[in-house]
Copies of this chain bind each other. A is one copy, B any other.
Amino acid sequence: MKLYGYFRSSAAYRVRIALNLKGLNADLLSIHLVKNGGEQHSAAYRQLNSSQLVPTWVEDENECSFILTQSLSILEYLEEKFTDIPLLPLDLQQRALIRAFSQSIACDIHPLNNLRVLQFLKHQYEISDEQKMQWYRHWVDIGFSSLEKQLQHSNGQFCFGELPTFADCCLIPQVYNALRFNIDLSAYPKIQSIYQHCNTLIAFQNAAPEQQADAV
């Protein structure tokens, strides 16, 4: 089992957390998103991931490869295949709320603020660094305000209850990313508290960007 990722990619970071929480081992292979114009655009990688994004999950079995893209679909696949340590509860409504929270990050925040979008904005509209930060902050502020509301019944340990779920796999990388962009999180006490708690756990610590072999 192989995971193609990049140390700073939030989407790859989500999958690394899930693998660690589930106690699964995979070879972590680096696709450098910046070097040489971005290795994700190479012909070889495009064979694996036609969207030219990370992560990509690959299983080689009996000379047959199973190739899967999209971090949330990788999480769902791991959840269905490796059931010993679940990252979703059994209750249908709770599962749904956890998926909605995860998608609030993966559909509403991250797609607007990832590398390819910031690069396109800069090159196409020649916006300043300050305008780029304004764009970044705008979508994080709207997104984090919604996440904080969705966490109003959280006890502050994990996003939903006493165990980590998809929601925590998605939240921690997004907060890490926001801090890298110097976003002020004081308006989001639940988010901050969950971020701090998760980062006391080895599964989250070992998944962090600075712990990866390709970290700069």
- Interface residue tally of chain A, by bracket? 35 or more
Interface SS, A side:
helix
Residue in contact with A125 in the complex, picked from B69, B108, B125, CB distance below 8 Å: B125
Contact with B along A61-73 (1 / 0, CB 8 A): 0000010111011
Cα(A96)–Cα(B107), bound, Å: 18
Q: Which of A41-75 contact B (CB under 8 A)?
A: 50-53, 66, 68-70, 72-74
In angstroms, how far is the closest chain B Cβ from the Cβ of A142?
A: 7
Residue in contact with A70 in the complex, picked from B51, B70, B81, B107, CB distance below 8 Å: B107
A22 interface residue (CB < 8 Å to B): no
Task: Please determine whether B104 and A51 come into contact, CB atoms closer than 8 angstroms.
Answer: yes
Contact with B along A117-133 (1 / 0, CB 8 A): 10010001101000100
In angstroms, how far is the closest chain B Cβ from the Cβ of A145?
A: 7
Cα(A111)–Cα(B92), bound, Å: 26
Task: Please determine whether A69 and B104 come into contact, CB atoms closer than 8 angstroms.
Answer: yes
Residue in contact with A108 in the complex, picked from B51, B93, B149, CB distance below 8 Å: B51
Cα(A24)–Cα(B57), bound, Å: 35
Instruction: Give me the interface of A with B, judged by CB distance under 8 Å.
Output: 50-53, 66, 68-70, 72-74, 76-77, 80-81, 92-93, 95-97, 99-100, 102-104, 106-108, 110-112, 117, 120, 124-125, 127, 131, 134-135, 138, 142-143, 145-146, 149-150
